[in-house]
Structure 1
Amino acid sequence: MSLRVDSFPNFAEFWLAVCEMDDSESLALVQTFVYAIWEARNRVVFQQGETSVALVLRRVADLHGHVREPMEGQRMRQAQLKATWCRPARGIIKCNFDASFRDGGIAGLGMVARNCDGEVMASACSSPVSISSPLLAEALGLRWTMQLATDLGFRRITLETNCLQLFNTWRSQEEGRSYLSSIISDCRILISAFDYVSVSFVRRTGNTVADFLARNSDTYANMVWVEEVPLTVVSLIDADVMNSLPSGF
């Protein structure tokens, strides 16, 4: 779930971070773990029973299995409906990224990082590189964005992509020997550089800034802007901020 437990001084701080996760299944899984541990504790204290890590894990698997399928469908419906950029929780930096794959196997990368007020913390473009498939380009975008976030000193981030295949690949936890698997493995290693990391999916209409930067990466080759974006992107940033305002504003 991309949470480093050792980075929290106490359970309360850990629980606050859990509640800020914008991933409903991971949140449910943490809640299930907490419940199973509490249940095991009560069995030992009040019923003089015995417990073990294996028993707790088996109970978690049993409890979570009953809700996993409904939540899978719910998550996909939420992903389909999420068509605009949404502000991250306070204290989290949302990093939207995208890859533009062109004829001839050329891909450019774009990224924009914003806080809970919609303010730009950074934006960047990576010059076009040769790559064999769009999915590999998106995976490179994920790794590149995580490396940028590390260099920029971000500690708590949400990474957002409009590539559903990459999102599903990240969630699958499957390991392999392909080039794609090695890139994803690199990304999982990079998690240790952060206090909190999550990956979410948004439709392309909610990823317009990163998409524009990726498609124009040959113009802005290997550029990084701190707390700003190119002038050509300002109108897209403003549109995202307006669309993300709570109803009634």
Structure 2
Amino acid sequence: RGTKKQIQLFCCALWVIWGSRNQLVHERKFRSGRDLSHKIQSYLIELEGVREKKLTSTPVRSQGQGGVELRESIQFDAAFDISNSRSTLGIVARDQNGEIKVSKSTLHFNVSSPFVAEAYACLEATKLGINMGLDSVTIMGDSKTIINKCRMTIRDKSILGAIIEDT
């Protein structure tokens, strides 16, 4: 039990110490107590700055029959680690005003390529929209290959096609 600030300090210190321990074990990289203390302090200052700064975003506009309308959007992206065959994906869902409603990140193992990573991210973004009960949503990603394959009417027989077909 403690104040919110004490709990935040404890969690941040634990996170930094654990990360330092992992670096020592896996990379043989040693960090002094002074370095750890500076990292904790700078991270807490950064968190305070984030709290003070209001996040802003531009709402997604789509062309409807009545002109420009605001709508919900889901943005996705993936990062691929070729040496470990794994990927991390991030998804952010926003309402009509651009406010973040849901954010999600997932780690996938045994991923064969960055294209497969992006396909999984697209699949997860689609599932999120369905689970949120959205009737109409704009799903955005930065992989032109995946977006083009999603728009194809011909069945793609590759691994990407199998993942995209699930969407």
TM-score by length of structure 1 reads: 0.39
Tell me, in whole angstroms, the C-alpha distance in 1 between the residues paired with 2:131 and 2:152: 27
Residue 144 (str. 1) matches residue 134 (str. 2): no
Within 1, Cα distance between the matches of 2:128 and 2:98?
Answer: 19
CA distance in 2 between partners of 1:86 and 1:185 (Å): 31
Check the 8 A contact 2:70/2:97 in 1, yes or no. no
Counterpart Cα distance in 2 of 1:165 and 1:86: 25
In the alignment, the residues of structure 2 paired with residue 176 and residue 125 of structure 1 have an alpha-carbon distance, to the nearest angstrom, of 27
Partner residue of 1:97 out of 65, 68, 76: 76
Q: CA deviation at 1:120?
A: 0.9
1:96-115 aligned at under 5 Å gives the runs: 96-103=75-82, 104-115=84-95
Please identify runs of 4+ aligned residues in structure 1 that moved more than 6 A: none
Q: Does 1:168 align with 2:148?
A: yes
Structure 1: distance between partners of 2:117 and 2:94: 22
Pairwise CA RMSD = 1.8
Bigger relative contact order, structure 1 or 2 (CA pairs below 8 A, ≥6 apart) = 1
Aligned residue number for residue 124 of structure 1: 104
What is residue 21 of structure 2 aligned with on the other side? none
Distance 2:113 2:90 in 1: 17
Map of 2:59 onto structure 1: 87
Matched residues in 2 for 1:139 and 1:101: separation?
12
2:133 aligns with 153
Structure 1 unaligned runs (5+)?
1-84, 188-249
Q: Which has the higher strand share?
A: 2
Q: Deviations over 1:41-62 (max 9, x none)?
A: xxxxxxxxxxxxxxxxxxxxxx
Look up the equivalent residue of 1:156 and give its one-letter code.
S
| CA pair 162-86 structure 1, distance change in 2 beyond 3 A | farther
User: By how many angstroms is 1:153 displaced?
Assistant: 1.9
Deviation at 1:91, TM superposition (A): 5.4
CA contact (8 A) 2:76 2:122 kept: yes
- Pair 1:182–1:155, CA change in 2 (3 A): same
SS at match of 1:177: coil
Q: Structure 1 residues 160 and 86 mapped into 2: Cα distance closer, same or farther (>3 Å)? A: farther
How many pairs are equivalent? 103
Structure with more helix by fraction? 1
- 1:177-216 pair list within 5 angstroms: 177-187=157-167
Whole-angstrom CA distance in 2 between matches of 1:165 and 1:115: 27
Q: Where does the alignment leave 5 or more consecutive residues of structure 2 unmatched?
A: 1-56, 62-68
Distance, in Å, in 2 between the alignment partners of 1:128 and 1:179 is 15
Residue aligned with 2:148, SS: helix
Q: In the alignment, is the contact (CA less than 8 A) between 1:91 and 1:156 conserved in 2?
A: no
> Percent same amino acid at aligned positions?
27
